[in-house]
């Protein structure tokens, strides 16, 4: 069996190429995984657009309808940071479907990876920081509503705190939120995750990985989740424009191996999303995102899932 990967065909939103959020990375990631032999075409699954009712398990109907129909006020649109288009609205919804599908496949096969996702700054009634709908939260609630899982652990290693996710699940014992992020970074106002680990500016590979190792195994043994959702943002990288940490490519790869191996060795299914990453060097950025899939492929084969 091969690692299941979720692919979003032609996921290239019609926004300016010089825009701060590099949408072209999604298609290029798919192409790189094929070109480098990390994955074969048979491993890729194409998600469907979920119904608005599923998105409304987390987001208010007013916000969902306003965004999908292009009726958000200018202030709300600026908070998101992406110019609206019908194509972007559709692809945003399909990306949510990709995380739902990755979660379902992870439960079936032990592990699955999305080639998008990680929109953790989206709150129930508004979007923020390039995040429109919170795919991690929606996928969690969809699987719970369907009775497929009860307890979920969200491991968020994007360099920015998963504030929307933390807010959504405050007081909800069925979804445990863990965010390890740069302490001096967006968002300015942090929410309260179940566990927040603020990191000092400039932290390098070894200290970062040791910090992660001091939390993750204990979290798994204490929570015993039915599913782990992993936001593998690569913006902790030293070359990231918005990161402020100092991980190398090797450090990112070691992080992915550490998270995936720890979960799989403990028997916990894990679904992964790529999270954030920001740089003018698109080739380097896409390679960093591919490190998740390279590590996942190795762990998947090693444990013969």
> 77-93: per-residue pLDDT in tens?
999 998 898 888 998 99
CATH number of 5-9+22-302: 3.40.800.20
Sheet holding 227-231, edge to edge: 44-45, 5-6, 111-114, 270-273, 227-231, 152-156, 175-182, 195-199
Q: In the structure, what pLDDT confidence band is assigned to residue 18 with cuts at 50, 70 and 90?
A: very low
| Measured distance CA(14)–CA(84) in Å, rounded | 9
| Measured distance CA(181)–CA(188) in Å, rounded | 12
pLDDT, tens digit, 9 for 90 and up, residues 188-226: 899 999 999 999 999 999 999 999 999 999 999 999 999
Q: Give the DSSP per-residue string, 9-25.
A: TT---SS-TTSSS-TTH
Whether 6 and 112 have beta carbons less than 8 Å apart is answered as yes
Active site residue 121: yes
Given the residues 8, 59, 120, 121, select the one marked as catalytic. 121
Determine the pLDDT at residue 23.
Answer: 64
Residue ranges of domains in the chain: 5-9+22-302
Determine the pLDDT at residue 8.
Answer: 76
Determine the pLDDT at residue 21.
Answer: 54
- Of 57-66, 73-82, 126-135, 254-263, which gets the smallest average pLDDT? 73-82
Tell me, rounded to whole angstroms, the distance of Cα 50 from its chain centroid.
Answer: 17
Structure tokens that stand for 212 in this block: 């992660």
Mean pLDDT throughout 135-150?
97
């Amino acid at each position: 069996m091969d690692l299941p990967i979720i692919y979003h065909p032609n996921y290239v939103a019609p926004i300016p190429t010089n825009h701060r959020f590099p949408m072209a990375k999604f298609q290029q990631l798919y192409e790189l995984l094929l070109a480098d032999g990390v994955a074969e075409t048979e491993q890729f699954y194409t998600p469907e657009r979920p119904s608005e009712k599923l998105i409304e398990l987390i987001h208010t109907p007013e916000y969902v309808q306003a965004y999908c129909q292009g009726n958000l006020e200018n202030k709300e649109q600026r908070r998101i940071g992406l110019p609206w288009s019908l194509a972007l609205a559709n692809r945003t919804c399909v990306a949510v479907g990709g995380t739902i599908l990755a979660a379902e496949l992870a439960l079936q096969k032990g592990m699955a990876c999305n080639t998008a996702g990680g929109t953790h700054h989206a709150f129930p009634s508004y979007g923020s920081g390039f995040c429109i709908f919170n795919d991690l939260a929606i996928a969690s609630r969809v699987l719970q509503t369907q009775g497929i899982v009860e307890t979920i652990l969200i491991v968020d290693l994007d360099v920015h705190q998963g504030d929307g996710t933390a807010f959504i699940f405050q007081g909800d014992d069925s979804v445990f939120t863990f965010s390890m992020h740069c302490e001096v970074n967006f968002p300015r106002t942090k929410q309260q995750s179940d566990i927040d680990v603020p990191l000092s500016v400039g932290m390098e590979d070894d200290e970062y990985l040791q910090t992660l190792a001091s939390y993750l195994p204990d979290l798994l043994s204490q929570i015993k989740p039915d599913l782990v959702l992993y936001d593998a943002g690569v913006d902790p990288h030293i070359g990231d424009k918005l990161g402020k940490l100092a991980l190398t490519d090797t450090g990112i790869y070691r992080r992915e191996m550490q998270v995936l191996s720890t979960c799989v060795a403990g028997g916990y299914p894990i679904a992964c999303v790529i999270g954030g990453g920001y740089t003018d060097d698109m080739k380097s950025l896409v390679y960093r995102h591919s490190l998740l899939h390279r590590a996942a492929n190795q762990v998947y084969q090693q444990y013969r899932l």
